[in-house]
Amino acid sequence: MTGAPRSIVVVDDDEDVRRLLVLSLSRVGGYDVRPVDSGQACLAELRRDRPDAVVLDVMMPVMDGPATLEEIRIDPDILDVPVVFLTAGIVDSDVERLRTLPVSGVLHKPFDPMRLPAQLAQLLGW
């Protein structure tokens, strides 16, 4: 990695999980992490400043992960931003459905904050 660290937008409605994601990805992974708390905020953040990747929670009120992804994929300015889902779901059919969407991968909660950055980098091919 040269120059400025890669930037990642993390989206999760749970404040604690968000904080943990920031700690893990910035402290362990060394990324520039920008947390937001909803799908709408994510879209605004992406349009404001295009990041290198998005870590997107699936189950969120108002606008869930797949809905947010859909909005990202139809906006010409940000449609090619890599997205990784972060899900607490366990029902296989749900997870399978997530994998069929245009994302780089699916990560599961609970995650190990010490290993998360490496797992993310592997999914994104960094």
Partner 1 sequence: MPRLLRRGSTTSRRSYDGPVVVGRSRSRIWVPALVVGAFAVVALVVLPYDSPRWSFVYLCATLVALVVLFGAALAMPRGTRVVWWCLFAFQVLTMASQAIGDHARKSGTSAFPGPADWLSLLAYVPVLTALGVLIHRLNPGRDREAWIDSSILSVAAASVFGLFLIVPVLSEPGMSRAAVAVAVTYPVLDLAVLASLIWLLVGGGRPKTTMLLVAVSFAFTLTADILRDLSLVDAWSGAPQSVLPALRVAAVVTMAAAATAPGAEDIAVPRETVRPHATTTRLAVLAVGVLAVPTLVAVRLWDDASKLTLLLALAAIIIIILAVWRIGLLVTAVDQQRQVTELVLDSAGDGIVGLDREGFVVFANLSARRMLRCRESDLIGRRFHDVAHHEYPDGRAFPWHECPVQQLVQRGGEAFIPDQVYVRRDGTTFPVEIIISPLRVDGVLTGAVQSFRDVSERHAVDELKRQFVSVVSHELRTPLTSIKGSLQMLDSGLVGELSGEQAELVSMAVSNSERLSQLVNDILDIERLDAGRLPLKPESVPPARLAELAVTAMAGAAGAAGIQLVLEVDPSATEDAMVFADPHRLVQVLTNLVGNAIKFSDRGARIMVRVTVAGTYAHLAVIDHGRGIPAEHLESVFDRFGQVDAGDARREGGTGLGLAIAREITVRSGGEIPVTSTIGAGSTFTVVLPLVDEDAAARITPAPAGVGAEEAL
Is 61 a binding residue for partner 1 by CB under 8 A? The answer is no
Beta bridge partners of 33: 8
- Min dist CB 87 to partner 1, Å, is 8
Q: What angle do the packed helices 65-74 and 39-48 form, to 10 degrees?
A: 30
Over the window 98 to 117, marking each residue x when it contacts partner 1 by CB under 8 A and - when it does not, the resulting string is -----------xxxxxx---
Residue 11, interface with partner 1 (CB under 8 A)? no
Amino acid at 33: V
Q: Tell me how long the chain is.
A: 126
Half-sphere exposure of 31 (CA within 13 A, CB side): 25
Pick the closer one to partner 1 by CB: 59 or 106. 59
Using CB under 8 A, list all residues that contact partner 1.
Answer: 14, 16-17, 20, 23-24, 27-28, 59, 88-94, 109-114
